[in-house]
DNA sequence: TTGAAAGCGCTAACAC
DNA sequence: GTGTTAGCGCTTTCAA
C-alpha cells in the first residue's frame, strides 16, 4: 500500500502472508486447498487476511508454478450457428462443473485458419482441446500436425470426427440411411440433396447413407447441389434447384437442418410451398427445426450431450463414448405421398 | 532431450537459446516481437532453433512475467441462445483479430452464479470482461461488487446495460415505442405482452416503450404475462393466455424474439393461427425470426456488431459507442387489420 | 547489440 | 505443523 492506503496493484499471496503473519507456504496451503494440514488458528488468520485484502490467486502464476493450466480450448466454425452453439453449451456445462475455463476460437470453416489457431492455442498449454470444426475429408495435414503437437504438452485432443487423441463419433451414415428408408416408406421416390459440402466427411457420410436407405425403398436422388453447411448456402442451392425445375412431390434432403431452413425460405421465395408441394428433411435436430413451419423432419443428434462427452473425453483418464442411436424424427415437413 | 532423442516435456525458451547458442534474453527478444534490435545472424539462428524444436511460448509464463494476460472474458446467460450467440460471435471476431483469447462462461441467468463466476474470473486477470447476461433491474449488489474488484487488476469491465466501467446501451425503450406506434398504425388496438422478465431492465424498458407507443396510437396492452427470455417460457405464457382467452385480431408483443418463437408454437399447438388470427411481434431480430413462418415482425438490434463494440470497449483507450438506431422490421406475422 | 541476473506470483520439496 | 528456498518459464532492467 502507498501512503494514502490505496493499493496500486492487486494483492499477492505474499501480501496475504505478511498481513496474516505467516509464511508464504502456509498461506498457499490454506488458500489453494492443498492436502496438507494447517492449524485452525493459522487458517483463520490467513482467510481473514485474504478476505480483507480481496485476494484472488493469479491463475497464470499458478499455472506456471504447477505446470498445468485449467483451460479447455474449444474450436468451432461459427459460434452463432446453432449446431456449434449446442455443442459449446455442452462443453461449457462440463467445464464449469469442474471449475475449468473454456476458451472459444472461431475457424470460420477455414482450414488454414484452423491450423493457425491450433498453433496459437498451444501457447495456452490447455488441458484439452476440442475441435468441432474440422472441414476436411481426411483430416487436413496441417491440422493433424498441429493436433499432434499437443501431445508433448500433455494436453489431450478430442475431435468431432477423426484426427484427435479421442473422437466423438456420430453415425451419420446410419442415421441418414434410416432417414432415407423412412422417407421412401412414406412414399417419396424422387429426391434432391442440397448443401453437400465438398470434401467434408460428415456430408459425404450423410449423403451416402441417405442414398442407400432411400434407394432400398425404391427412391432415387436425382440431383446433388454442393455448398456449405450454412443457411445461405442452403437457400442458394435451393434457388438454383428451383430454377432448374423441381417437380411437385419431390423430397429435398438437406444435409443439415441449418441448410434445410435456408432451403425452406428459398422454396417460399420461389413461390412454392413446403410440405405437399416440396417436402424437406434435414439432419441434426437443432432447436430451430421445431420452430419453423411446417416443423422439420430430421435426425436427432444430441449435440449438447455430445459436447459434454467431448469435455469428459478431454479430462477423464478412462473414457469411452456412450452408445448413441440416432433417431429419425418425422414431422410435418414431410407429410408423405 | 533424453538418450533416445524423445522429448519428454515441451521445449522452453531456455532450450531454444541453448540450441541457438545465444542467451535467454536474446532468444526472448527475437521470439516475442520486442522492440529491441537483434543482429540478423542471431535472429536467424534463434528462429531456426525454435522451428526445429517446435517451440511455442508458454502463455501463462508470459502473463506472469509481463503482468498482463491476453484474455477477454465473456459472460453470457446461455451460449446456445441466438441472442447471446450473436453477441459472442461479434466479440470473438474482434478478439481474434487482435490475437486475444476469449473465454466463455455461462451464468444460466442466475445472479448468484454470475457473481461466483466473476469472482473466479478474477484469477485470470483478464484484460477485459464483457458481461452480457445480467438479469437484474438495478445491477445486483454482488455483481456490482465483483465488477468493481476488477479495477485494481487493471482489467476493464463492459456491460450490456449498466454496471461496468463502460456500457453498451440499447435503446430498448425507444425501439419498442416505435414498434408499438407502428403496430397501432397497422390497425391493432388490443395487445397482450408475454415474457416480461420480472426485474430485468431490458424487459421493463421494452414493455414501457411499447405501452407508450401503442397507447399513442390508440392501442392498449390488456394483459402482461411474466416469464423469462427463454423459448419455453414464451410458449408457457402463451398457453396460459390462450386458456384465458385471446380474441382474434389480438397482437402478442413478445419481449424478445426467442420468446415470440415459443409463443408462435403455442399458438399453433392451441389450434389457432399466427397472423390474421393472432398477430405476433418480437424484439431483437435474431436469425430465427426470418426462418419462422410467418416471418416475425420485430425490432432489429445489431447484436453481432454490439458484441464487436463491446470488445472494442474493453481494449480501446478511447471509446464511444457509435450511435445506434433501432429499426422496426415489419414482416408477415403482423399482417395488419 | 548482447548477456547476466533479478524478478513476476505461486508451488512444492525439504528441512526444522 | 511451519517455514525456507529453489524452482516454473518468461521478461526486462542493467552492465558490459
- The answer to whether A2 faces chain B, any CB pair under 8 Å, is no
Query: Which 3 state secondary structure label does DSSP give B144?
Result: helix
Task: Summarize pLDDT for A163-185 with one digit per residue, the tens.
Answer: 999 999 999 999 999 999 999 99
CA A32 vs CA A42, A315, B63, B115: distances in Å? 14, 21, 20, 20
Confidence of residue A1 (pLDDT cuts 50, 70, 90): very low
Residues 263-322 of B with CB under 8 A from A: 264-265, 268, 287-288, 290-293, 304
Q: Over 60: is that where the pLDDT of A4 sits?
A: no
Contact state of B124 with A9 under an 8 Å Cβ cutoff: no
Q: How far apart are the first and last CA of chain A?
A: 80
Percent of chain A topping pLDDT 90: 89
Query: Which B residues between 27 and 46 have a beta carbon under 7 A from any strand D atom?
Result: 28-29, 31-32, 34
Candidates A9, A81, A96; nearest CB to B106: A96
* CB atoms inside a 10 Å sphere around CB A93: 18
pTM over 0.75: yes
Write b or e for each residue in B113-142: b if 16 or more Cβ atoms lie within 10 A of its Cβ, otherwise e.
bbbbbbebbbbbbbbbbbbbbbbbbebbeb
Least Cα separation, residue A222 to chain B (angstroms): 27
Confidence at residue B8, expressed as pLDDT on a 0 to 100 scale: 66
Residues A293 and A260 sit within 8 Å (Cβ to Cβ): no
- The answer to whether A122 faces chain B, any CB pair under 8 Å, is yes
A70: closest chain B residue by CA: B124
Q: Over 50: is that where the pLDDT of B52 sits?
A: yes
Residues A297 and A251 sit within 8 Å (Cβ to Cβ): no
Question: Distance, angstroms, CA A336 to C1' D4?
Answer: 80
- The answer to whether A100 faces chain B, any CB pair under 8 Å, is no
Closest CA to A10 of B59, B143, B121, B125: B125
Per-domain boundaries in chain A? 13-65, 67-168, 172-301+325-329
What angle (nearest 5°) sits at the alpha carbon of residue A40, between those of residues A37 and A44?
115
Question: Is A13-65's fold the same as A67-168's?
Answer: no
| Higher per-residue pLDDT: A182 or A37 | A182
Q: What is the DSSP letter of A175?
A: H
Ramachandran sector of residue B33 (left: φ over 0; alpha: ψ -120 to 50; beta: rest): left
Q: Over 60: is that where the pLDDT of B22 sits?
A: yes
Parallel, antiparallel, or unpaired for β A250-254 and A278-281? parallel
Q: What is the DSSP letter of A140?
A: P
Dist CA A96 CA B127 (whole Å) = 21
Task: Summarize pLDDT for A150-167 with one digit per residue, the tens.
Answer: 998 989 999 999 899 999
Ramachandran sector of residue A152 (left: φ over 0; alpha: ψ -120 to 50; beta: rest): alpha
So what CATH class is B13-65? Answer: mainly alpha
Confidence at residue B5, expressed as pLDDT on a 0 to 100 scale: 40
Would you call the peptide bond into B294 cis, given omega within 30 degrees of 0 as the criterion?
yes
Q: Which three cell numbers stand for residue B73?
A: 472474458
Distance of CA B98 to the CA centre of its chain: 19
Confidence at residue B36, expressed as pLDDT on a 0 to 100 scale: 76
Confidence of residue A8 (pLDDT cuts 50, 70, 90): low
CA A21 vs CA B177, B278, B294: distances in Å? 61, 70, 69
Q: Over 70: is that where the pLDDT of A189 sits?
A: yes
Closest protein CA to C1' of nucleotide D9, residue: B61
Mean pLDDT rounded to a whole number for chain A: 94
Residues A314 and A128 sit within 8 Å (Cβ to Cβ): yes
Q: Which CATH number fits domain A172-301+325-329: 3.40.50.720, 3.20.20.70, 3.40.50.2300, 3.40.50.300?
A: 3.40.50.2300
CATH number of A67-168: 3.40.50.2300
- The answer to whether B122 faces chain A, any CB pair under 8 Å, is yes
User: What is the phi/psi pair of residue B164, to 5°?
Assistant: -95, -175
What is the average pLDDT across B251-278? 97
Dist CA B59 CA B61 (whole Å) = 5
Parallel, antiparallel, or unpaired for β A101-106 and A71-76? parallel
Candidates A58, A89, A93; nearest CB to B64: A58
What is the average pLDDT across B69-86? 97
Q: Over 50: is that where the pLDDT of B2 sits?
A: no
- The answer to whether A127 faces chain B, any CB pair under 8 Å, is no
Q: Over 60: is that where the pLDDT of A5 sits?
A: no
Q: Cell 445489431, residue?
A: B302
Confidence at residue A51, expressed as pLDDT on a 0 to 100 scale: 95
Amino acid at each position: 500500500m502507498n501512503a494514502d492506503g490505496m493499493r496500486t496493484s492487486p494483492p499477492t499471496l505474499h501480501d496475504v502472508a505478511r498481513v496474516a503473519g505467516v509464511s508464504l507456504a502456509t498461506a498457499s496451503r490454506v488458500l489453494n486447498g492443498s492436502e496438507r494440514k494447517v492449524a485452525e488458528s493459522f487458517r483463520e488468520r490467513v482467510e481473514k487476511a485474504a478476505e480483507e485484502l480481496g485476494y484472488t490467486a493469479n491463475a497464470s502464476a499458478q499455472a506456471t508454478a504447477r505446470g498445468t493450466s485449467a483451460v479447455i480450448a474449444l474450436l468451432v466454425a461459427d459460434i452463432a450457428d446453432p449446431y456449434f452453439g449446442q455443442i459449446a453449451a455442452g462443453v461449457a456445462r462440463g467445464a464449469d462443473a469442474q471449475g475449468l475455463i473454456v476458451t472459444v476460437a472461431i475457424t470460420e470453416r477455414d482450414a488454414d485458419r484452423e491450423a493457425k489457431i491450433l498453433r496459437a492455442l498451444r501457447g495456452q498449454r490447455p488441458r484439452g482441446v476440442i475441435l468441432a470444426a474440422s472441414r476436411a475429408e481426411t483430416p487436413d495435414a496441417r491440422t493433424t500436425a498441429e493436433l499432434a503437437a499437443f501431445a508433448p504438452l500433455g494436453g489431450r485432443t478430442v475431435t468431432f470426427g477423426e484426427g484427435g487423441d479421442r473422437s466423438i463419433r456420430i453415425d451419420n451414415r446410419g442415421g441418414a440411411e434410416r432417414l432415407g428408408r423412412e422417407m421412401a416408406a412414406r412414399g417419396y421416390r424422387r429426391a434432391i440433396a442440397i448443401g453437400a459440402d465438398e470434401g467434408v466427411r460428415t456430408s459425404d457420410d450423410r449423403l451416402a447413407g441417405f442414398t442407400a436407405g432411400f434407394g432400398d425403398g425404391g427412391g432415387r436422388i436425382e440431383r446433388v447441389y454442393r455448398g456449405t453447411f450454412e443457411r445461405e448456402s442452403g437457400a442458394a442451392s435451393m434457388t438454383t434447384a428451383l430454377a432448374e425445375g423441381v417437380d411437385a412431390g419431390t423430397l429435398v434432403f438437406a444435409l443439415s437442418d441449418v441448410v434445410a431452413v435456408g432451403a425452406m425460405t428459398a422454396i417460399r421465395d420461389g413461390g412454392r410451398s413446403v410440405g405437399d408441394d416440396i417436402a424437406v428433411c434435414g439432419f441434426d435436430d437443432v432447436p430451430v427445426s421445431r420452430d419453423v413451419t411446417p416443423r422439420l423432419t430430421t435426425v436427432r443428434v444430441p449435440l449438447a450431450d455430445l459436447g459434454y462427452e467431448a469435455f469428459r473425453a478431454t479430462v477423464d483418464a478412462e473414457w469411452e463414448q456412450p452408445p448413441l442411436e440416432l433417431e429419425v424424427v418425422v414431422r410435418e415437413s414431410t407429410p408423405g405421398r
